[in-house]
Amino acid sequence: MPQIVIEAEPGPLVFDTARAALVLIDMQRDFLEPGGFGEALGNDVSRLAAAVAPCAAALAAARAAGMRVIHTREGHRPDLSDCPPAKLARGQPSARIGDPGPMGRILVRGEPGHDLVAALAPAPGEVVIDKPGKGAFHATDLGAILSAAGIDTLLVGGVTTEVCVHTTIREANDRGFRCVALADACASYFEEFHRVGLAMIKAQGGIFGWVSDVAAFRAALRSAPIDQGEPA
Ligand code: TIU
C-alpha cells in the first residue's frame, strides 16, 4: 500500500491513504450560522467561518486522492429522547435544544440548521455520522465503520476545536487511531481555546496525536509514495 508522509508536529507522520480518513466534525449551520445552537449559547458564530475554505480544500484533496471522507453532525431525535436532561438544561441559552429558531428546531435532526453548510455538502457515498454527543464515537457506529474499512489514521477538521474536535480526537486516540488535527480546518468561538486545544494535542510527544494544516495535507497527497524497500 502507498505510504506517504505528512509534515506535522511533534513530528512527521507516515500513513497509508487507503487506511486513512478525512473526518470533518459538525460543520453545520447550527454552529456556523446565526440563529442556531452556537449563537443561542451566546457565541459569535462568525469566528467559525475561517474553517470553511480550509475544510473545502481538504475535502477536495481527499476526494481527488480517493481517500475516505466522513462527515459528522451533532443533533438529536425530534422527540429529544436521546438528549440527556443535563445537556438540555445546561447554561442559560437564549434558546434551548429543540426550541424553534430561524433554521428550524435547534440541534434537531432533519431541521435546516442541522444540515452541513452548503460548501461542505457530502458527496454520494460519503459517510455521515449523526451523533448525540460531543465525541463522534459515543452512541454512533463510527467505530464499526472505521474498523470494517481498516482505517488507522484520521485527519480531522471541524468545529469546535476544543469541544467536538477535541472530544473526538481523544476518543479516537484511546481506541488506537492516529489522529492529525488540521489546524486551519478547525475553529473555535474562542481563539485562546483553539490555540491551546491544538497545543494540548501535540504536547508531550503527541499525547493525543499530531497537528498539521491543510497545505501540508495537500502536499502529502501530491507527494510520491515513500520507498518501503523490498519485503523481507
Ligand atoms: N459549543 C461548542 O463549542 N461546541 C458544541 O457545542 N459542539 C461542537 O463542538 N460541535
pLDDT by residue for the chain (232 residues), tens digit each?
A: 689 999 999 999 999 999 999 999 999 999 999 999 999 999 999 999 999 999 999 999 999 999 999 999 999 999 999 999 999 999 999 999 999 999 999 999 999 999 999 999 999 999 999 999 999 999 999 999 999 999 999 999 999 999 999 999 999 999 999 999 999 999 999 999 999 999 999 999 999 999 999 999 999 999 989 876 655 5
Distance from the alpha carbon of residue 160 to the mean position of ligand 1, in angstroms: 5
Where does residue 104 fall: left (phi above 0), alpha (psi -120 to 50 degrees), or beta otherwise?
Answer: left
Task: Please identify every residue annotated as catalytic.
Answer: 26, 131, 164
For 136-193, the three-class secondary structure string (H helix, E strand, C coil) is: CCCCCCHHHHHHHCCCCEEEEEEECHHHHHHHHHHHHHHCCCEEEEEEEEEECCCHHH
Where does residue 45 fall: left (phi above 0), alpha (psi -120 to 50 degrees), or beta otherwise?
Answer: alpha
Q: Is the dihedral of CA 29, 31, 32, 38 positive or negative?
A: positive
Grid cell at residue 137: 464515537
Q: How far apart are CA 164 and CA 169, in angstroms?
A: 8
Cβ of 145 less than 6 Å from ligand 1: no
